[in-house]
Amino acid sequence: MSGSSSPGDLGRADDATASANGAQRAVVYAGPGRAEVADVRLPALETRAGPGVLPRRCDHGVIVRTLATCVCGSDLHTLHGPGATPGMVLGHELTGVVVEVGRDVERVKVGDACSVPFNVACGRCANCRAGLTGHCLSANPSRPGATYGMGEGFGGWAGMQAEYALVPYADFNLYVFADADQARERLLDVAMIGDILPTGYHAARSAGVAPGSTVYIAGAGPVGLACAAACRMLGAAAIIVGDFNAERLEHVRSVGFIPADLANGSLEEIVAEVVGRPLVDVGIDCVGASDAAVAKAAAGGMVAPALALNDIIGIVRHGGSIAIPGVYPAGAPGVRPPLGVWLGGVWSKAITVTSGATPVRRYQDELAAAVLLGGVGIGDVVHATTIPLAKGAEAYEMSGAGASRKFVLTP
The CB-of-196 to Zn ion minimum distance in angstroms stands at 6
Integer Cα distance of 220 and 213 in angstroms = 19
The CB-of-118 to Zn ion minimum distance in angstroms stands at 5
Integer Cα distance of 117 and 114 in angstroms = 10
The CB-of-13 to Zn ion minimum distance in angstroms stands at 32
Q: Is 10 in the site for Zn ion (CB under 5 A)?
A: no
The CB-of-300 to Zn ion minimum distance in angstroms stands at 32
The CB-of-78 to Zn ion minimum distance in angstroms stands at 10
Find the binder of Zn ion among 18, 122, 188, 275 (CB under 5 A).
122
* Contact call for residues 137 and 126 (beta carbons, < 8 A): yes
x-marked contacts with Zn ion along 299-338 as a string, rule CB under 5 A:
----------------------------------------
Question: Is 187 or 272 the residue whose CB approaches Zn ion more closely?
Answer: 187
The CB-of-238 to Zn ion minimum distance in angstroms stands at 27
Q: What sign has the CA pseudo-torsion 206, 203, 162, 14?
A: positive
x-marked contacts with Zn ion along 174-203 as a string, rule CB under 5 A:
---------------------x--------
SS3 content of the chain, % helix, strand, coil (to 5): 30, 25, 45
x-marked contacts with Zn ion along 64-103 as a string, rule CB under 5 A:
--------x--------------------x----------
Question: Is 72 or 307 the residue whose CB approaches Zn ion more closely?
Answer: 72
Question: Is 22 or 123 the residue whose CB approaches Zn ion more closely?
Answer: 123
Per the DSSP assignment, residues forming a β-bridge with 215 are: 239, 282
The CB-of-407 to Zn ion minimum distance in angstroms stands at 11
Question: Is 119 or 321 the residue whose CB approaches Zn ion more closely?
Answer: 119
* Contact call for residues 315 and 278 (beta carbons, < 8 A): yes
The CB-of-91 to Zn ion minimum distance in angstroms stands at 8
DSSP states along 292-356:
HHHHHHHTTS-S-S-HHHHHHHHHEEEEEEEEE-S-----STT--------HHHHHHTT-EEEES
Nearest to 183 by CA among 372, 365, 373: 372
The CB-of-404 to Zn ion minimum distance in angstroms stands at 17
Q: Is 171 in the site for Zn ion (CB under 5 A)?
A: no
Find the binder of Zn ion among 125, 274, 393, 403 (CB under 5 A).
125
Question: Is 46 or 93 the residue whose CB approaches Zn ion more closely?
Answer: 93
Q: Is 368 in the site for Zn ion (CB under 5 A)?
A: no
Question: Is 42 or 167 the residue whose CB approaches Zn ion more closely?
Answer: 167
In the chain the first and final C-alpha atoms are separated, in Å, by: 25
Nearest to 259 by CA among 268, 247, 250, 267: 250
Sequence-separated (6 or more) residues with CB below 8 Å from residue 322:
207, 282, 283, 284, 285, 309, 312, 313, 316, 346, 351, 352, 353, 354
How many residues sit in the footprint of Zn ion (CB under 5 A)? 8
Select the residue whose beta carbon is closest to Zn ion and give its number: 72
Cα–chain center distance at 247: 22
Question: Is 22 or 153 the residue whose CB approaches Zn ion more closely?
Answer: 153
Q: Is 341 in the site for Zn ion (CB under 5 A)?
A: no
Integer Cα distance of 257 and 219 in angstroms = 13
Give the type of residue at 303. V
Site residues for Zn ion, 127-156, by CB under 5 A, read 128, 136, 138
The CB-of-366 to Zn ion minimum distance in angstroms stands at 19
Integer Cα distance of 23 and 361 in angstroms = 30
Give residues in contact with Zn ion (CB under 5 A): 72, 93, 122, 125, 128, 136, 138, 195
